[in-house]
Each structure stands twice: as structure tokens, then as C-alpha cells.
């Protein structure tokens, strides 16, 4: 077997054999296949696609490159959620303790933000003392005692995907449905959860800009999960507008705590409950009532226990940015659009995100949204507030917001679209 033959097969629109796939994934993980060779193969896959048979074998080979976790010692059924990434997407923070409060165990392996999309671990690291890196034994201990854990994946979990993900990010091959699907599902299947709910974002702030591509990605991932014995469903959800009223790390933690306290933005609450019901149903707990767990404080109790179990102080003040800048509404009327990508890009420029995995982030940086589409706005009143420790970034961030919103004359009728666009099972 040689890598040039494998590259040529896919370059010429051929179908890779199981032997091709097993060999190239193993050889790349061991360093026998060079980065430039794998980047060539990734581009060939990006351009020519893969059959379902190829995607399934590619995913299996990445799972086989490392360890598989085992939660069979737990007395609760396991359920996990994965989001394909968006702007203001803090759903994991209230969702994990909420589902745990309803009787399931939630082993949530999360990632960091890159570019305009936020990362769950970056958000939680705004909490003083909180630790993302746990050993497998520590993770199992928190799951057993609290019911939910949010942490980084260990180095032994699908190491082939870790190498390939970093390569795709710098070679323009991120937006490949076969590579996205196999990347997500190799980690989730290796994680060992019994059931999985996928939140596939659709819109300007998502990787999938239209619902046709989102359906294809969701169907591919649901098929991969099902083929590997993981009960998998997917919700297609709107990401044309940021979720909630904040984009940024500490800002989103604060908003998540509001949701757990029984308040918070309506769209965040709606999506949190929709995903919680999916997870509980998949875990065999269809009669559990997540709305009740939010209202009676049990979800908040689980949040506080989970944060403490990972070294964090749930009562500590969250970081705030040293500088703010208010963007006023330029006219009176009805806000009709607020582009998720533009808001995410501006938050990244303020320091809330990173261009490379090794870059630091500012805990307090981000954007507050004082209005959402459908809300009335008044000329001169705050529309957005920008937060950062580096005020020299304000001008750069503001350039990305020039065409981020639209305002129609007062009295214009506006109908908000649904948050959940479709369900794939």
C-alpha cells in the first residue's frame, strides 16, 4: 500500500477500498504519511466526496486509532449532545445539568472555539478555578456523583481525528460533509455514550449555510451513529441570528446561569428544552419533565455541583472586560435582521475567539445584543454593546458590523421563524 495510489484513486473520483482507508488512517496517525500528502487526500475528498460505505469505514478507522470509553458501570443511561457550532450557542451549559437533573448521565466532551464560532470549554474556563482537562477516572467519578460532566476529550480518544482536524483547518477542507461527519461521529462513538442528539446548525453563522446541506450532514451522522449501535437523532436549528443576547465567554456563562435560574432569553430556553426532551427520550426517559427541573431549581443545583466537582466556584464573580463601546440604533423602527456570522466575527475580533488553536482568548470579550429580530428599536438607544480588554480592536470589530443588521419602519409586521427547522431520525 502506498499513499500516492490512495490519493490518485480519490483524485480520479474512484472509491477507496476498506484496505485503502484502514492503511492511510493508521499510517497518518503514526507519521508515516506526511501532512502534505494527507492534505492532498483531504482536498480530493472535499472535491469528489465519499460514498456512505467509505464514510462509515473512514469513521471506524479513526475510532480504531485510539481508545474507547466505557460507562457500563454507571447506574444511569447515558445521553450526549453535539452542536455543529454557532454564535451565542451556550446551550450545552444549561443543558447538561438539566438532563442530569432528570435522571440521565451526560458525558459531554466539548471543544474550543475557532474563528467566529464559540467554544464551550472557553466559556466555562471563565469560571474561576474550573478545569477542562480531567482524567478518564475523574470524568467517570463526576458522572457517577453528579450526573453530568463537561470536559475536554483525552489524547487517547480518536487521535487520528485530532491530527486530521488541525490539518483541515489550515488547508481549506473544513466544509466537507464526509470529513465533518466522520470527525464528529468518531469522537462521539469512541466516547461510549448510549445515545446522541445532534444539533445541526443552519444559516450564516453555521458551517451549513442552507437546509439541504444540513439535512445531508445530519442524515450522514445519524446513519453513522445507528450503524455503530448508538441511538442517534438530529435537530436542524436556526443559526441565521445569534442565540440569546450575548456572544462571548463570560457573557454567555452569565446568560446560561439566568436560564438555569428560570429566566434567560426565550430562544435559549426553547432550544435547551427541545434538546433536553430529545436526549431524555433517546435515553429511555420520555416521561421526565425538563421544564419542571428548570422551574423548581433542581437543574441549578446540578449545575453548581458540576462546576464545584471540576474545581470551579459557582459563586465567584465572572470576569468583565475593561472597555465597552455602545452601538446605537441608527433609526427608529423594527429590527428585521441580525446576522449571526457578522456578530460572531466581531466578537472574535474583540478577543472572544481565536484564529489558531494555541491563541489565548479574553474571558470578558464579546457582544451584548439589546434587541433581536422582531423587536422595536428607538434611534439613539443601545443596539449592541461591545466588550474587550483591548480597545484598539473596536474599529476592526465595528467594520464587521456595518451591514450586520436591518431596521424597517415602525409598524412593519415581522414574524419570527422557528428555531427547530427539522428532525432527522
Catalytic pick from 10, 82, 188, 302?
Answer: 82
Specify the DSSP element, H or E, that contains 217. Answer: helix 211-227
Residue with cell 435537530: 235
Catalytic residue list contains 5: no
Among this protein's residues, is 168 annotated catalytic?
Answer: yes
Catalytic-role residue among 148, 176, 182, 183: 183
> How far apart are the C-alpha atoms of 278 and 258, rounded to whole Å?
22
Catalytic residue among 81, 187, 201, 231: 187
In sequence order, what DSSP letters do the residues of 57-92 get, joined into one string?
A: HHHHHHHHTS-----TT-SSPBEEEEE---SS--TH
- Whether 82 sits among the annotated catalytic residues: the reply is yes
Task: Please give the backbone phi and psi of residue 400, each rounded to the nearest 5 degrees, phi first.
Answer: -75, -10
Q: What is the CA radius of gyration of the chain?
A: 21
Residue 290 to residue 300: CA distance in whole angstroms: 12
- Is 161 assigned a catalytic role? yes
Cβ–Cβ contacts within 10 Å for residue 27, how many?
Answer: 18
Active site annotation includes 187: yes
| C-alpha cell recorded at residue 396 | 476592526
Identify the CA nearest to 100 among candidates 309, 314, 305: 305
Other CB atoms within 10 A of residue 291 CB: 14
CB 100 within 8 A of CB 148: yes
DSSP 148: E
CA distances from 227 to 160, 222, 406 (A): 20, 9, 45
CB 401 within 8 A of CB 222: no
Q: Which of 80, 89, 161, 238 is catalytic?
A: 161
Choosing from 163, 168, 215, 387, the catalytic residue is 168
Which residues are tagged catalytic?
Answer: 82, 161, 168, 183, 187
Amino acid at each position: 500500500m502506498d499513499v500516492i495510489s490512495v490519493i490518485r484513486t480519490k483524485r480520479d473520483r474512484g472509491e477507496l477500498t476498506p484496505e485503502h482507508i484502514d492503511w492511510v488512517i493508521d499510517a497518518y496517525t503514526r507519521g508515516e504519511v506526511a501532512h502534505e500528502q494527507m492534505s492532498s487526500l483531504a482536498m480530493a475528498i472535499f472535491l469528489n466526496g465519499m460514498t456512505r460505505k467509505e464514510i462509515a469505514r473512514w469513521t471506524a478507522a479513526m475510532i480504531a486509532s485510539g481508545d474507547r470509553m466505557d460507562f457500563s458501570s454507571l447506574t444511569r443511561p447515558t445521553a450526549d449532545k453535539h452542536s455543529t457550532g454557532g454564535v451565542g450557542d451556550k446551550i450545552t451549559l444549561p443543558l447538561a445539568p438539566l438532563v442530569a437533573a432528570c435522571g440521565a448521565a451526560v458525558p459531554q466532551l466539548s471543544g474550543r472555539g475557532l474563528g467566529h464560532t464559540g467554544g464551550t470549554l472557553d466559556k466555562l474556563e471563565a469560571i474561576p478555578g474550573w478545569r477542562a482537562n480531567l482524567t478518564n477516572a475523574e470524568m467517570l467519578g463526576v458522572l457517577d456523583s453528579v450526573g453530568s460532566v463537561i470536559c475536554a476529550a483525552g489524547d487517547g480518544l480518536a487521535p487520528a481525528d485530532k491530527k486530521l482536524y488541525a490539518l483541515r483547518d489550515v488547508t481549506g477542507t473544513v466544509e466537507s460533509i464526509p470529513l465533518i461527519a466522520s470527525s464528529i461521529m468518531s469522537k462521539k462513538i469512541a466516547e461510549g455514550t448510549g445515545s446522541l442528539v445532534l444539533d445541526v446548525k443552519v444559516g450564516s453563522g453555521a458551517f451549513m449555510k442552507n437546509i439541504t446541506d444540513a439535512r445531508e450532514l445530519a442524515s450522514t451522522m445519524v446513519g453513522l451513529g445507528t450503524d455503530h449501535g448508538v441511538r442517534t437523532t438530529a435537530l436542524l436549528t436556526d443559526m441565521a441570528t445569534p442565540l440569546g443576547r450575548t456572544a462571548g465567554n463570560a457573557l454567555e456563562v452569565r446568560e446560561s446561569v439566568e436560564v438555569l435560574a428560570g429566566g434567560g432569553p426565550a430562544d435559549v430556553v426553547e432550544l435547551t428544552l427541545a434538546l433536553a426532551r430529545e436526549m431524555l427520550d433517546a435515553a429511555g426517559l420520555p416521561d421526565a419533565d425538563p421544564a419542571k427541573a428548570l422551574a423548581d431549581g433542581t437543574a441549578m443545583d446540578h449545575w453548581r455541583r458540576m462546576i464545584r466537582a471540576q474545581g470551579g466556584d459557582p459563586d465567584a464573580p465572572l470576569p468583565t472586560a475593561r472597555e465597552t463601546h455602545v452601538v446605537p440604533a441608527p433609526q427608529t423602527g423594527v429590527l428585521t435582521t441580525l446576522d449571526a456570522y457578522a456578530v460572531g466575527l466581531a466578537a472574535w475580533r474583540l478577543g472572544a475567539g481565536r484564529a489558531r488553536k494555541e491563541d489565548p482568548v479574553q474571558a470578558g470579550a464579546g457582544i451584548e445584543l439589546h434587541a433581536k429580530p422582531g423587536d422595536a428599536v428607538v434611534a439613539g438607544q443601545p443596539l449592541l454593546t461591545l466588550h474587550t480588554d483591548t480597545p484598539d480592536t473596536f474599529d476592526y470589530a465595528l467594520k464587521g458590523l456595518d451591514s450586520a443588521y436591518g431596521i424597517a419602519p415602525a409598524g412593519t409586521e415581522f414574524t419570527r421563524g422557528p428555531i427547530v427547522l427539522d428532525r432527522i431520525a
